[in-house]
Amino acid sequence: MPTITPSLEILRHTFGYEQFRAPQEEVIATLMSGQDALVLMPTGGGKSLCYQIPAIARPGAGVVISPLIALMEDQVNALRQAGVAAAALNSSIQPREIRETEEALRSGQLDLLYIAPERLLQDRTLRLLQQCQINLFAIDEAHCVSQWGHDFRPEYLQLKVLHERFPAIPRIALTATADPKTRLEIIERLGLQRARIFTRSFDRPNIRYHIHSSSQGARNALLRFIRDRHDGEAGIVYCLSRKRVEEIAAWLQTEGLDALPYHAGLSADERRRHQQRFQRDESVIIVATIAFGMGIDKPNVRFVAHLNLPKSIEAYYQETGRAGRDGLPAEAWMHYGLQDVVQLRQMIQQSEADQQRKQMEGQKLDAMLALCETTQCRRQTLLSYFGETLALPCGNCDNCLTPPATWDATVAAQKALSAVHRTGQRFGVQYLVDVLLARDDPRIQQWGHHQLRVYGIGKELSANAWRALFRHLLLRGLVEVDSEGHGGLRLSPLSRPILRGEQTLTLRQHENTQSQKKEKVQEIPAGDKALWEDLRQHRRALAQTQGVPPYVIFHDATLMEM
């Protein structure tokens, strides 16, 4: 029998888990012995326990620096439910509660204190911490210190003061971004030269990835997939809404499958029963919203299916990662419609999050789309997102097994990029397409752009094909939306190799990119013109005041400037 250490005791009694996952136990031991640690582990890998357990086990409180208020709130709530004395200090907390938290910290009653970096760095806070017993500093989402990453937070750069002001207190930095450059930056900028480094690969070689896009037939495709490949096996089907969960679960039942719904709208009792049946039985299919997953550790889930686009690669990785934990072959299958993209973008724009978070979420969605649209090996693409390299294509994913129809879009991309450049990097897609097709847009004459070399050089493609191409250029970061200016497109440094002909661009051919019917979608019936103009103006105003992208992506993958 293994000895029950205090850490294991906390894992079992406070958190209700049986065993540590690699490398949690060693990370905890490192901190308990007073050493620093750097932890690079996939999302959902279990990084939080690495600092929560030692913070609880040792006298005093652990201080956790976290970049997002929402993340802090989730963690504090979960900890409180488990009976841990946890609190947060950030700009959304009322003064009275702040005083209570500070008092609890001074009198040694707190186990974990979550704090926003800007608050931590205030002199007042640093002085307070110096008067209290602090047992560790955890810097979560440590890649925010990287100026080259998407999530850069200038305050993170100043976290080096922790090392200077509290040299005796062990520090742990955690991130799911593991590329070597970011890793070095974290070590350098946080002064973690003596930290022990723990990494776990993101690769899941036993998972076969498939991603399909089309606006119709998802239900039947799902049924065929389950019947043909996973008859009588356990799986999870993720949907975006509760309503859709109910609908799909009921429909699978009428088709004779053992499917159960799971979402936050069901009673606690029902959720528990469904989860237990899934956990115990061999062949239950859970149809769920993303509410399902916390604490699920069923080894023999043979497939995870998505009927909608997840909002980020991290979410996709975490959800598909619930398949094949036993190491045996498993499948991650997704069917999404491009209207998912529109819906997700709207959700981001209409949420109450601050501008910075919206922007971050938009970029995460773009990365997810790039994974969907890649013609390369899915596993290689997925791993490269996390900074790992897989030397050869996996030979097992949909793209490896059935290479998708593609076209060489290099020349078209060069034309599109030149149009952006020659018109001064300030126009939106609609205008650029008009220039490429030599359409009679009065603005073209006004700007004298009918005299440019790019005027009318794009007649080999339809307007829709051009819009789809611009969308790819945006997705791949070759052009950027200038959100400070008028929301026009500008070139990014990534476009240079394409313009110079040093790099080619191969794109996935969409089933119906160029059909006549789609062209009609964009036409505005005369009677609606006023309404449309209103909508445009509203959207432009939003673009200017709130940085909302000044374009709409239609379900046929075309992009329309507003």
By CB under 6 A, name the binding residues for ligand ADP. 17, 19-21, 24, 41, 43-49, 294-295, 297
Please state the closest distance from residue 316 (CB atom) to ligand ADP, in A: 14
When the beta carbons of 47 and 472 are compared against Mg ion, the nearer one is 47
Please state the closest distance from residue 533 (CB atom) to ligand ADP, in A: 46
Residue 396's binding partner among ligand ADP, Mg ion, none (Cβ under 5 to 8 angstroms by kind) is none
Q: Which residues pair with 561 in a beta bridge?
A: 551
Please state the closest distance from residue 173 (CB atom) to Mg ion, in A: 12
What is the SS3 assignment for 132? coil
> Which residue's C-beta sits nearest to ligand ADP?
46
When the beta carbons of 45 and 337 are compared against ligand ADP, the nearer one is 45
When the beta carbons of 50 and 169 are compared against ligand ADP, the nearer one is 50
The 277-316 site mask, x for binding Mg ion (CB under 5 A), equals ----------------------------------------
Please state the closest distance from residue 48 (CB atom) to Mg ion, in A: 5
Residue 135's binding partner among ligand ADP, Mg ion, none (Cβ under 5 to 8 angstroms by kind) is none
Please state the closest distance from residue 175 (CB atom) to Mg ion, in A: 9
Residue 551's binding partner among Mg ion, ligand ADP, none (Cβ under 5 to 8 angstroms by kind) is none
Residue 395's binding partner among ligand ADP, Mg ion, none (Cβ under 5 to 8 angstroms by kind) is none
> Which residue's C-beta sits nearest to Mg ion?
47
φ, ψ (nearest 5 deg) of residue 222: -65, -45
Residue 202's binding partner among ligand ADP, Mg ion, none (Cβ under 5 to 8 angstroms by kind) is none
How far is it, in rounded angstroms, from Cα 480 to Cα 546? 17
How far is it, in rounded angstroms, from Cα 406 to Cα 86? 53
Identity of the amino acid at 314: E
Query: Which one, of 341, 339, 327, 322, lies nearest residue 275 by Cα?
Result: 322
Please state the closest distance from residue 340 (CB atom) to ligand ADP, in A: 24
Please state the closest distance from residue 53 (CB atom) to ligand ADP, in A: 10
Output b/e per residue, 175-200; b: 16+ Cβ within 10 A: bbbbbeebbebbbebbbbeebbebeb
How far is it, in rounded angstroms, from Cα 349 to Cα 335? 24
Please state the closest distance from residue 351 (CB atom) to ligand ADP, in A: 21
Please state the closest distance from residue 354 (CB atom) to Mg ion, in A: 20
290 neighbors 306 (Cβ within 8 angstroms) = no
When the beta carbons of 47 and 539 are compared against Mg ion, the nearer one is 47
When the beta carbons of 292 and 303 are compared against ligand ADP, the nearer one is 292
Residue 1's binding partner among Mg ion, ligand ADP, none (Cβ under 5 to 8 angstroms by kind) is none
Four-point Cα dihedral 215, 218, 224, 230, nearest 10: 130
The residue count for binding Mg ion (CB under 5 A) is 1
How far is it, in rounded angstroms, from Cα 245 to Cα 262? 7
Residue 46's binding partner among Mg ion, ligand ADP, none (Cβ under 5 to 8 angstroms by kind) is ligand ADP
The 3-state secondary structure of 231-274 reads: CCCCEEEECCCHHHHHHHHHHHHHCCCCEEEECCCCCHHHHHHH
Please state the closest distance from residue 20 (CB atom) to ligand ADP, in A: 5
When the beta carbons of 47 and 210 are compared against ligand ADP, the nearer one is 47
Indicate the pairing of strand 489-491 with strand 479-481: antiparallel
List of residues 6+ apart from 537 with CB closer than 8 A:
none
List of residues 6+ apart from 289 with CB closer than 8 A:
238, 239, 240, 241, 242, 245, 262, 263, 264
Walk across the sheet containing 235-238 and list its strands: 207-213, 330-336, 303-306, 235-238, 285-288, 259-262
Residue 45's binding partner among Mg ion, ligand ADP, none (Cβ under 5 to 8 angstroms by kind) is ligand ADP
When the beta carbons of 268 and 294 are compared against ligand ADP, the nearer one is 294
Preceding omega of 23 cis (within 30 degrees of 0): yes
Please state the closest distance from residue 21 (CB atom) to ligand ADP, in A: 4
Please state the closest distance from residue 267 (CB atom) to ligand ADP, in A: 22
When the beta carbons of 295 and 448 are compared against ligand ADP, the nearer one is 295
Residue 423's binding partner among Mg ion, ligand ADP, none (Cβ under 5 to 8 angstroms by kind) is none
When the beta carbons of 141 and 561 are compared against Mg ion, the nearer one is 141
Query: Which one, of 57, 53, 64, 61, lies nearest residue 11 by Cα?
Result: 53
Burial (CB count within 10 angstroms: exposed 0-12, middle 13-18, buried 19+), residue 372: buried
When the beta carbons of 174 and 323 are compared against Mg ion, the nearer one is 174
Beta strands in 307-391 (DSSP E): 330-336
Residue 294's binding partner among ligand ADP, Mg ion, none (Cβ under 5 to 8 angstroms by kind) is ligand ADP
Per-residue DSSP letter, 101: H
What is the SS3 assignment for 134? strand
When the beta carbons of 47 and 208 are compared against ligand ADP, the nearer one is 47
Question: From the CA atom positions of the chain, what is the Rg in Å?
Answer: 26
Query: Which one, of 192, 278, 287, 276, lies nearest residue 249 by Cα?
Result: 287
Residues 10-69 that bind Mg ion (CB under 5 A): 47
Per-residue DSSP letter, 390: -
When the beta carbons of 294 and 526 are compared against ligand ADP, the nearer one is 294
Residue 213's binding partner among Mg ion, ligand ADP, none (Cβ under 5 to 8 angstroms by kind) is none
Residue ranges that bind Mg ion, judged by CB under 5 A: 47
